[in-house]
Amino acid sequence: MELLKTKRLTLIPVTKDILRYEQTKNILPDSLSEIFIPENWPHESITKDVLEVFLSLLNENRLYNFYWIFEKEAGEQILIGSGGFIVHDNGDYELGYSILKQYENQGYATEAVKATIKWLTDSEFDKNIFAKTEAENYPSIRILKKSGFYKSGFEENTNLLIYSYSKKET
């Protein structure tokens, strides 16, 4: 995976070294050495169990994830969020993302989600892309709608809304 750039962000591919660092906090990978990592990183939804699943999926080439780096005018780089895709057994891609509280509601997540969708769809992509979110998570729903997703279902066992991506809507 390659580095992605947007107007305000650099999206760096998540590697095994990065995930191992997140698990142990031992050896900082070179790719993060010049980046400020806030004290409240990672997002509360990224637990040790989630990191184990991510590492397993990455080893199986079923995780395509990026760290979102905000670049301040003075050249300072700050890790603010992450997001990407899990590839399911049927070949569908599930989008997931999180952003630190202090960077919410500033358009960063929408900017990063659009960039990752573009990266995926530019590679002659023909599979389904979907995301799940809680019905009361209005900021996430707003991000999905702005990024070309539409409500396509409801998952009863988890009480999550399902949103599907439509190329024509972006």
pLDDT of residue 127: 79
The parent domain of residue 34 ranges over 4-169
Provide φ and ψ at 150, rounded to 5°. -135, 150
Q: Which residues pair with 85 in a beta bridge?
A: 64, 95
Query: Residue written as tokens 């809304």?
Result: 161
pLDDT of residue 169: 45
The predicted model scores a pTM of 0.91
C-alpha 33/C-alpha 116 separation (Å) is 23
Q: What is the pLDDT of residues 63-88, one digit of tens each?
A: 999 999 998 877 889 999 999 999 99
pLDDT of residue 170: 44
Q: What is the pLDDT of residues 75-129, one digit of tens each?
A: 889 999 999 999 999 989 999 999 999 999 999 999 999 999 999 988 766 779 9
C-alpha 50/C-alpha 33 separation (Å) is 23
Contact between 6 and 117 (Cβ < 8 Å): no
C-alpha 166/C-alpha 163 separation (Å) is 10
- Residue 40, pLDDT > 50, answer yes
CATH number at residue 75: 3.40.630.30
Domain count along the chain: 1
